[in-house]
Amino acid sequence: MEPNRTALPFREFSHRISLIFMLTLAAALLLLGRAETYVFDQARQVVTDLAAPLLEIASRPVAATRRIIERTDEYAYVFDENERLRAENARLLEWKEEALRLQARLARYEALLNVQVDQSIEYVSGRVVSDSGGPFIDTVLVNVGREQGARSGLAVIDSDGLAGRIVATGPKASRVLLLTDLNSRIPVVIEPAQYKAILAGDNTSWPRLEYLPVQSAVSPGDRVVTSGDGGLIPAGLPVGLVIQTGSGELRVQTFSDRGRLDFVRVLQYEFPSEVKLQDPPSVLEGPAAEPAAPAGDGPRAAAE
C-alpha cells in the first residue's frame, strides 16, 4: 500500500466537496425514494431488464457447479439412497392404491353433486437468475417476463411448493417476492382443521403465522397450504409445515428452500371473477297468487 500520490490541496478540497455533495444526495434519495415510487420503479425495471441477461449467463456456471457437487454426493451415498428409495417405493405403492380408490369415489361424488371442478392452471417455466443481493430483502429475478405471460401477483412455485409471488415484471424478467421477505403476506389454511391465517415473512428463515384464531388447535407438523382468499393465489398449493420455536411461537418451515431455488413455474391463474350478478329486485314480490277458490270449498274438499 503506497501513500496517496496526489496530495494536492486543491484535489483534496474538491474530493471533500464532492463527498459532502454525494452524502447529501444519498440522504435526499433515501427520503425521496419513499415518495417518488413511480419514477424509481421505472428505473428499477430498466436496470433489472438490462442486468437479467448478464446475470443469467453468470448463474449458469454456478448451477453447473452445484449439479456436479450434488452428483458427487449422490455417488457417495448411492447404496443408502437405493435402500431408502426401495422402502419408500413400497410405501408409495400402498398410497397409490388408496389414492386410486379415493379418486374413483371422488369422481362419483362430484358427478352426483354436479360439482364445478377447478380449471387446470397453465404455467410458464423459468429459471432463477439472481440472488436477493442484500440482507434485508428476499427477492429473486426469474427469466420470465411480460412477453412470456408473467404479470404482477402471479404465484411462483418450485418442485417442492409455493416459493413466492411476482411483484414486478419487465419484458424479459420478473422479480419474485419470496415467502420469507419482510413484505410478504400470503393467506393460508392449516390442515387438517382448516384454520385460516396469514403467513407473514419477517426476514428470518421461518415466516410467522398471523391472525390465527386464539382457540385454534394448531400443532407442530401440521401442513400449511394456500387458502386462495383474495383471489390472487390459487387455493391448495403446498406451503410448508408448522414448527414451534424455542419461545413457543408457531412458525412455518417452507417446503421450498430459498437457498436452492433453480427452476420455477409461474402459475397463470385467473380468479373466476366473472360471476353473474344477482341483484335483488327493487320491489320484493311474493309468489304469484293462485286463482281464489270458492270460500269454504278447500277445507271441505280436504276433509272429503
Partner 1 sequence: MAKLEPYSPTPAARAGRIVMTVTPFVIGIVCVLLSFVPFGRIVGSPLTPAFPLMAIYYWAIVRPEMFPPLAVFAVGVLFDLLSGGEIGLWAFVYTVTYAVVVTQRPVVVNAPFSAFWIGFAVTAAFAGALAWVIVSVIHGLIVPPGPVFWHMAVTVAVFPIFAMLFGRFETRVLSGG
Distance, CA of 121 to CA of 117 (rounded, Å): 12
Stretch that binds partner 1, among 28-36, 74-82, 105-113, 288-296 (CB under 8 A): 28-36
At 15 the three-state DSSP class reads helix
Kindly state whether residue 23 participates in binding partner 1, applying the rule CB under 8 A.
Answer: yes
- CA-wise closest residue to 179 among 111, 297, 258, 100: 258
Sorted by sequence, the CB contacts under 8 Å of residue 272 that are 6+ apart come out as: 119
Kindly state whether residue 66 participates in binding partner 1, applying the rule CB under 8 A.
Answer: yes
Using CB under 8 A as the criterion, what x/- string covers residues 138-157 for binding partner 1?
xxxx----------------
- Bridge partner residues of 253 (DSSP): 241
Stretch that binds partner 1, among 57-65, 94-102, 212-220, 287-295 (CB under 8 A): 57-65
User: Do 235 and 228 meet the contact criterion of CB atoms below 8 Å apart?
Assistant: yes
Kindly state whether residue 53 participates in binding partner 1, applying the rule CB under 8 A.
Answer: no
C-alpha cell at 23: 452524502
Stretch that binds partner 1, among 50-58, 78-86, 216-224, 263-271 (CB under 8 A): 50-58
CA-angle at 78, arms to 76 and 82, nearest 5°: 160
The amino acid present at 209, given as its one-letter code, is: L
Kindly state whether residue 85 participates in binding partner 1, applying the rule CB under 8 A.
Answer: no
Q: DSSP readout, 105-121?
A: HHHHHHHHHT--PPPPP
| Shorter beta-carbon distance to partner 1: residue 138 or 222 | 138
Distance, CA of 278 to CA of 213 (rounded, Å): 32
CA-angle at 122, arms to 187 and 181, nearest 5°: 35
Sorted by sequence, the CB contacts under 8 Å of residue 125 that are 6+ apart come out as: 144, 263, 264, 265, 266
C-alpha cell at 88: 419408500
Kindly state whether residue 104 participates in binding partner 1, applying the rule CB under 8 A.
Answer: no
Taking CB under 8 A as the criterion, the residue among 9, 13, 53, 58 binding partner 1 is: 58
Kindly state whether residue 243 participates in binding partner 1, applying the rule CB under 8 A.
Answer: no
Stretch that binds partner 1, among 13-21, 102-110, 118-126, 245-253 (CB under 8 A): 13-21
Kindly state whether residue 10 participates in binding partner 1, applying the rule CB under 8 A.
Answer: no
| Shorter beta-carbon distance to partner 1: residue 172 or 258 | 258
CB of 19 to partner 1, least distance (A): 4
Residues near partner 1 (CB under 8 A) are: 1-6, 11, 15, 18-19, 21-23, 25-34, 40, 43-44, 47-48, 51, 54-55, 58-59, 62-63, 65-66, 69, 128, 130-141, 167-168, 175, 182, 202-204, 257-262
